[in-house]
């Protein structure tokens, strides 16, 4: 696509600054961080369905969940681990013995052991000193390695932690033979340039062989920061289908994969033509609708309405499409509305083997414009009202909360 001689390609000018790992290993977090999207819950059957599709797509690692969370979660992890999938199945644990043992019992081969690293997390959340965090991390990694697991060591909020502590902590788990080191931008505060500096400094100090990044999208930079990390040479990006995850979510699988393939010409090994179907499945099972303007998989990402655009697309798709919809398993759509031009109308009629005089085409165009302008917005407003109500209070509704609280023995609140 980018190599077409019809368009200038300036990517080549930055080629010397790129150090992509080969291969790049996709680590999918849809079933763990993605399930932590407010209001989202996947049953064990649903987790298995998504895991099968992710494995078919070609991701290397699937985080199936945190077994210690609940009985159902432990069962889901066991089922995904036992399904004989090509992808490596991972489960996550805090640096707490009970968590690690639950992962060992679940039958996975990969574990992610996570602990917070920043001062604000240590002081206010964990109430632990740096030395306590370090000791718990070393003991946890040692136990998981003894059990024969491939160990990824993750710190939360890595990029807001003192670098000297980060260096000390990662070197300590490296000495315990942790296999993969994960750096997290837990609250999404990196920018591409800052992150490049951070990762180069991390590499200089810690010299990781296999390293990952986990980027959040609070400021809309998760994909940009993840791509930066890959340019630096990070081996294993964390991604979520549809960019699901806590708050504004994580780096989106489809955006990172397609950017690598189409902008940089990097072979991801992923069957990108399956991306859209996977995206729709996750939309359905998570109940989180895709934004119309979401890149790659949004309803409108391959739709054209304006006359100038449809005219261009009909002449050559490169005019207004950076990649062909088929690449990600989609179809192009021409939308009729206020901005429709005559070329689109002529094309639509031609599909039905109809050719009409220009005057008829102009008349039809005018009728379509007037038709759009006369459309009532009532139905759309009704739909949006319901939609908003659902997302303004996701999860367990308030009445249900008080019903459950009563059952649990919580006394009535004083009036």
Residues that bind Mn ion (CB under 5 A): 33
Q: DSSP 3-state assignment of 328?
A: helix
Judge residue 94's burial from the number of C-beta atoms within 10 Å of its C-beta, 0-12 exposed, 13-18 middle, 19 or more buried.
middle
Give 294's contacts (C-beta < 8 A, 6+ positions apart): 242, 243, 301
Smallest separation (angstroms) from Mn ion to the CB of 214: 6
Of the two residues 60 and 217, which places its CB atom closer to Mn ion in the complex? 217
Of the two residues 215 and 227, which places its CB atom closer to Mn ion in the complex? 215
Of the two residues 113 and 138, which places its CB atom closer to Mn ion in the complex? 113
Q: DSSP 3-state assignment of 372?
A: helix
Smallest separation (angstroms) from Mn ion to the CB of 245: 6
Long-range CB contact pairs, 164-172, < 8 A, 24+? 165/117, 165/130, 166/117, 166/202, 166/206, 167/205, 167/206, 168/130, 168/134, 169/117, 169/130, 169/133, 169/134, 169/137, 170/206, 170/208, 171/206, 172/134, 172/137, 172/138
Which single residue brings its beta carbon nearest to Mn ion? Answer: 33
CA-closest candidate to residue 241, choices 251, 232, 231, 233: 251
Smallest separation (angstroms) from Mn ion to the CB of 188: 10
Smallest separation (angstroms) from Mn ion to the CB of 215: 9
CA-closest candidate to residue 274, choices 259, 285, 258: 258
Smallest separation (angstroms) from Mn ion to the CB of 272: 24
Of the two residues 155 and 228, which places its CB atom closer to Mn ion in the complex? 155
Of the two residues 138 and 222, which places its CB atom closer to Mn ion in the complex? 222
Of the two residues 32 and 304, which places its CB atom closer to Mn ion in the complex? 32
Smallest separation (angstroms) from Mn ion to the CB of 216: 6
Q: Is the Cβ–Cβ distance between 277 and 329 less than 8 Å?
A: yes
Of the two residues 63 and 310, which places its CB atom closer to Mn ion in the complex? 63
Q: DSSP 3-state assignment of 93?
A: strand
Smallest separation (angstroms) from Mn ion to the CB of 249: 9
Angle at 36 between CA 35 and CA 38, to 5 degrees: 105
Q: Is the Cβ–Cβ distance between 237 and 199 less than 8 Å?
A: no
Smallest separation (angstroms) from Mn ion to the CB of 246: 5
Of the two residues 211 and 276, which places its CB atom closer to Mn ion in the complex? 211
Integer Rg of the chain from CA: 25
Give 122's contacts (C-beta < 8 A, 6+ positions apart): 116, 128, 129, 130, 133
């Amino acid at each position: 696509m980018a190599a077409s001689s019809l368009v200038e390609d300036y990517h080549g000018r930055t080629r010397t600054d790129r150090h992509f790992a080969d291969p790049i290993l996709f680590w999918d977090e849809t079933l763990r961080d993605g399930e932590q999207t407010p209001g989202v819950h996947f049953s064990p059957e649903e987790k298995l369905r998504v895991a099968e599709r992710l494995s078919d797509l070609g991701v290397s690692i699937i985080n199936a969940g945190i077994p210690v969370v609940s009985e159902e979660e432990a069962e889901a992890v066991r089922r995904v681990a036992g399904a004989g999938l090509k992808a490596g199945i991972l489960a996550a644990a805090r640096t707490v013995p009970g968590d690690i043992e639950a992962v060992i019992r679940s039958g996975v081969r990969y574990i992610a052991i996570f602990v917070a690293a920043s001062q604000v997390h240590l002081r206010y959340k964990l109430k632990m000193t740096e030395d306590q965090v370090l000791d718990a991390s070393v003991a946890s990694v040692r136990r998981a390695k003894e059990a024969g697991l491939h160990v990824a060591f993750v710190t939360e909020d890595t990029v807001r932690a003192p670098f000297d502590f980060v260096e000390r902590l990662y070197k300590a788990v490296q000495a315990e033979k942790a296999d993969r080191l994960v750096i997290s931008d837990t609250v999404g505060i990196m920018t591409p340039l800052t992150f490049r500096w951070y990762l180069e400094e991390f590499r200089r100090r810690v010299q990781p062989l296999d390293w990952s990044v986990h980027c959040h999208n609070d400021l809309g930079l998760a994909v940009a920061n993840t791509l930066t990390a890959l340019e630096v040479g990070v081996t294993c990006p964390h991604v979520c289908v549809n960019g699901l995850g806590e708050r504004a979510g994580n780096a989106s699988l489809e955006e990172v994969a397609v950017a690598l393939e189409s902008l940089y010409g990097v072979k991801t090994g992923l069957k990108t033509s399956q991306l859209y179907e996977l995206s729709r499945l996750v939309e359905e099972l998570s109940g989180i609708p895709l934004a119309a303007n979401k890149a790659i998989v949004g309803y409108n990402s391959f739709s054209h309405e304006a006359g100038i655009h449809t005219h261009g697309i009909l002449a050559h798709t490169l005019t207004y499409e950076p990649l062909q919809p088929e690449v990600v398993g989609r179809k192009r759509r021409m939308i009729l509305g206020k901005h429709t031009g005559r070329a689109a109308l002529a094309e639509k009629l031609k599909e039905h083997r109809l050719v009409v005089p220009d005057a008829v085409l102009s008349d039809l165009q005018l009728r379509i414009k007037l038709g759009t302008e006369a459309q009532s917005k009532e139905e759309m407003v009704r739909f949006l009202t319901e939609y908003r109500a659902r997302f303004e209070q996701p999860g367990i509704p308030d009445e249900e909360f008080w019903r459950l609280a009563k059952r649990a023995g919580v006394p009535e609140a004083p009036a």
